Amino acid sequence: MAPGVYVGQFMTQITGTKEDPIFLCGTAAAVIDGEGIKKGYAFHLNGASYWRLVGFTVRNSQKGVMADGTTHSVFQGLRIHEIGDEALHLRTFSSDNLVVGNTIWNTGRRREKFGEGVYLGSAVSNWRNHTNNKPDKSDRNIVRGNRIRATAEAVDIKEGTSGGQIIGNIFDGSALSGDVNDSWVDVKGNGYLIEGNVGRKTPEDGFQTHQILKGWGINNTFRRNTAHLDGGRGVGIKLTSKPNRVTCDNKISGGRLTNGGCS
C-alpha cells in the first residue's frame, strides 16, 4: 500500500496457502479509514486464511480488523486507533494466528464497555449468532509484543477458546473505564500461557480469570509477568476460577501478587 488514506470498509474472502500467503503491507502513512466509529469493520478477513497484514494504520471504524474463520494469518506492526469498539478480533473458529508488534490505542470511542484491544473468540451469548450454538474454538492464537491502551481489556480471552499464548506485551490501563472493565487481561478460556507481560495502571486488578461457563477459565499459567497496580484496589493476578497456576516469579508493585498462592 502506498502512503495515503484509503477510505471505506474492506473485506476479502480470498485465501492464500502455506506456500504462497497473501501480503498486504504498508507503512504507518498508509491508512485505512473506515468512515466512522458507529458501524462496520475497517478490514475484514471473512473465511480468508494465510494472510499477512503488515505495517499500516487502521482507524475510524466501529471495529478495526475483524477475522472470521481465519487460520495461519499474521497481524504485524499495525497501528489501530480511533475505534468505536474493539481494535482486533479473532472470531468464528479463527485459530493458529499470530498478533505481533501492533500498537493499539483510543478504542471504545462508541462505547467504552466494548473497547477491547485484542479479542479472542466469542462470548457464549454470541455463539448462536456466529457458531451455530457451538463453542467458538478460536484456538492456539498467539498475542506477542504488542502495546495496548484500551477502554476495556487489552486482551479479552473468551470461553470456548484454548491453548493460546499472551507473551511479552505492554499494557497501559490508564484508559480503562473501571466499570466492568477493571483489568488488563481477562482469561475465560483454557490452557493459556500468560508470560512476560508488563502492565501499568488499573482501577482494580492486573490479570483475572473467570468461569463464565462450567469447565472454562481453567488450567491457565501466569509466569514472569510484571504488574504495577499504580493505585488499583485489587491484586496483580486475581483467580476466580480453578485450577490455574501463578508462578512465584511474577512481580508486583502497589499491592499483593494474587488472591491465592504462587508455586
Q: How many CB atoms lie within 10 A of CB 53?
A: 25
For residue 138, CA distances in Å to 35, 46, 96, 109, 190 come to 29, 14, 8, 26, 11
The pLDDT tens digits of the residues spanning 64-94 come to 999 999 999 999 999 999 999 999 999 999 9
The pTM is what? 0.98
d(CA 259, CA 3): 49
Burial of 3 (0-12, 13-18, 19+ CB in 10 A): exposed
pLDDT tens column, 7-30: 999 999 999 999 999 999 999 999
Structural domains in the chain?
Answer: 14-258 (2.160.20.10)
Paired sense of beta strands 4-7 and 193-195, if any: unpaired
